[in-house]
């Protein structure tokens, strides 16, 4: 894909040494469970302070579903955290385009802050109720499409997944269309 390496691996997103990690945030940006909670804890209290600052200034109503915004990563090995809000299937947000937007907008924002390597979780595959296979397919298609349109802007995209089930789903999606 234009020289961009796209991979899937099992691991802890908070320990990955890349320019930017993507946080599966909620729209409030004020912390939560799952990936968001892990990132907030590992990054330290300055991350929450940065998110509060965004809410007090540019995002008073929160971050919309499918959009993304960056903050410094503070105590994480990454330089940046790109926060994105995935669609919540349990709340009727079932449009795959909204999910795809999480991945493409996150890449847009990562490039804006100078990131050349980006690591993603399986956005919306946890408590937001999307099936692992659906998230993997949408994510891989969105990233591949973005990479083709933006050749040379990102060197590496890694899907860093916390379970074998998610890793298998992403591996299968990556094998499609190779």
Which domain CATH number covers 137?
A: 3.40.220.10
Overall domain count for the chain: 1
Of 12, 19, 36, 171, which one is the catalytic site residue?
36
pLDDT, position 1 = 44
Give the separation between CA 2 and CA 41, rounded to whole angstroms: 35
Give the separation between CA 22 and CA 14, rounded to whole angstroms: 10
The model's pLDDT over 39-84, given as tens digits with 9 standing for 90+, comes to 999 999 999 999 999 999 999 999 999 999 999 999 999 999 999 9
Would the pLDDT of 2 be above 60? no
- Mean pLDDT value across residues 5-29: 97
Q: How confident is the model at residue 19 (pLDDT cuts 50, 70, 90)?
A: very high
pLDDT, position 126 = 87
- Domain hosting 53: range is 5-175
CA distances from 13 to 34, 52, 156, 174 (A): 11, 22, 15, 19
pLDDT, position 76 = 98
The model's pLDDT over 99-157, given as tens digits with 9 standing for 90+, comes to 999 999 999 999 999 999 999 999 999 889 999 999 999 999 999 999 998 888 999 99
Name 134's Cβ contacts closer than 8 Å, sequence gap at least 6: 96, 99
DSSP SS3 for 121: coil
Q: Strands, DSSP E only, in the chain?
A: 5-10, 20-25, 68-72, 80-85, 117-120, 156-161
Would the pLDDT of 178 be above 90? no
What pTM did the predictor assign?
0.96
Note if 168 is an active site residue: no
Cβ burial of 129 (10 Å; 0-12, 13-18, 19+) is: middle
């Amino acid at each position: 894909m234009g020289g961009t390496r796209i991979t899937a691996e099992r691991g802890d997103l908070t320990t990955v040494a890349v320019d930017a990690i993507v946080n599966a945030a909620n729209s409030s940006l004020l912390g939560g469970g799952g990936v968001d909670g892990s990132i907030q804890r590992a990054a330290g209290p300055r991350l929450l302070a940065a998110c509060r600052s965004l809410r007090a200034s540019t995002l008073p109503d929160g971050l919309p579903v499918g959009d993304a915004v960056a903050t410094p990563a503070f105590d994480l090995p990454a330089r940046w955290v790109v926060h994105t809000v995935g669609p919540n299937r349990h709340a009727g947000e079932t449009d795959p385009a909204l999910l795809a937007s999480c991945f493409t907008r996150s890449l847009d924002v990562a490039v804006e802050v100078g990131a050349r390597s980006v690591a993603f979780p399986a956005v919306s595959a946890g408590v937001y109720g999307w099936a692992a296979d659906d998230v993997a397919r949408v994510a891989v298609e969105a990233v591949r499409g973005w990479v083709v349109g933006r050749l040379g802007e990102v060197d590496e995209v890694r899907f860093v997944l916390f379970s074998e089930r998610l890793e298998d789903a992403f591996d299968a999606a990556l094998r499609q269309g190779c």
